[in-house]
Amino acid sequence: MRSLSDELKKYGYVFSTRRSIFLYAFVFAGMLILGRFFFLGVLSQMILCGAGFFILPFFLRNALRNRYHQKRFSDLNIYMEQFLYSFQKSGKVLTTLEDLLSIFESGEMKEVIQAAKDHILHTFDEANVEEKALALIEDVYPYDGLRTIHHFALTSETLGGNYQESTLLLLESRRMFADRVYALQQEQKVKRREIFLSIITSLVLCSMVFVLSTKIGVDIASHPLAQIITTIVLILDLFIFYSADKRLTVGFVESDHKDDEEFVRQYQRLSEYNDKKLLDRMGKRIAYKSVSREIEKQFPNWLMEVSLLLQTENVPVAVQKSFEMAPRILQPALSNFILDLKEKPESMEPYMNFLSEFGMPEVASSMKMLYSISSGTGGDARLQIADIIRRNQMLYDKAQKLANEDSLAGMQIMFLAPQLTGGVKMVVDMILLLVLYLGQQSFSTS
């Protein structure tokens, strides 16, 4: 319970004796009404109230956690949008952070921006000061899109040039992220409401047996077996709704990003699997899917960096300079690509071999475009790359929407669970009604 108390404080809960008394009184009244509706005895009422008192702090945690995550998402969304607009005007990370400080009121976001600004102004004995300062914000808001924006700003400040098209692409990516989260939040509300209605419906249907029993003069509600099964079902429904509420209370800015080194290990392990062994084939399929998804996410970021370098360099030099700042998952393939370019600078083969084992049409299309620019047969490199990045972002957005749908698909079980518990209770009540009714008839005839 100590960890629960600490978590409630993290979410902004301030303990108040008056508030606690009100909450427990509200739960007591609710459990009392529910118990009376099902004709529960004193002992069953006490057990039901005990369950309600026990689970109340956890419901409170869910509500506060949900509000906390919505605030974090809102802050992050505003931060990313305003960061890009401000950086578009100033071209300086420090100036951008100073602009952002005036937007946010006191709170977690303002504090971490202030810490990043102070780090830049007061650190004199380390390299990559601005990168480490922005990393302070990324540690608190671990969203991959935020890392991409920060990396773009650091690269653009270093290289200079025209980065307006890249800024517009990142603004569009931020809009897609916001739209996905808004849609997910709405779906979560719908699922929560559906599960609550499923519980209410099942309980109302269960009560029909009691109504039927009173009409034929049989009192099954007070029978010990009916008391036990009713108490168990009510407590189970309570915990079903809590479990659903907990699963629907998730963070929106946390990244599903694994450790970079883990992806690199999976990538390197792909060539080590023995296709003749069943377990190896299964392992390879899992690793292939995981690595492919990470490449789909990171490839547009690398392309954007290459587009910035192409303002001052040719394609081979831009690719080579992009290596150090490239996503870790792409570096092994990039290393081979750079070596191939040195051996066959005029050939299209190195471009088409890049990540060819994953069979990604967008990657192949992008590499063809880079080759056409390198050979002098392409058009405006900046516009061509922007178009490719935009298509990649749309594909990634679609994949993320499907992932959100998958995360909600399991809630169907929660929707059906109250109907199952209610069905069991109805069966028990009907059997009990039949037995007691037949017993009464036998007694009256004798």
**pLDDT tens digits for range 310-337:** 777 888 998 998 898 788 889 999 999 9
What pLDDT shows up at residue 167? 87
What pLDDT shows up at residue 392? 73
What's the whole-number average pLDDT of the chain?
86
Report if residue 236 sits inside a domain: yes
What pLDDT shows up at residue 206? 86
Report if residue 342 sits inside a domain: yes
- pLDDT of 421 strictly over 70: yes
Report if residue 20 sits inside a domain: no
Task: Count the alpha carbons within 13 Å of 429 in the hemisphere toward its beta carbon.
Answer: 30
Q: Which residues contact 394 (CB under 8 A, 6 or more apart)?
A: 176
Which residues constitute the domain of residue 425? Answer: 196-248+257-446
- Pick the more confident residue, 111 or 298: 111
Report if residue 341 sits inside a domain: yes
- Pick the more confident residue, 253 or 150: 150
351 falls in which pLDDT band (50, 70, 90)? very high
**pLDDT tens digits for range 255-302:** 555 566 788 788 777 777 777 778 878 888 888 888 888 888 788 888
Report if residue 65 sits inside a domain: no
What pLDDT shows up at residue 445? 60
When pLDDT is averaged across residues 188-198 and rounded to a whole number, the result is 92
What pLDDT shows up at residue 380? 67
Report if residue 27 sits inside a domain: no
In total, how many domains does the chain have? Answer: 1
208 falls in which pLDDT band (50, 70, 90)? confident
Range with lowest mean pLDDT among 216-220, 239-243, 315-319: 216-220
Report if residue 14 sits inside a domain: no
Say what the pTM is: 0.78
Report if residue 428 sits inside a domain: yes
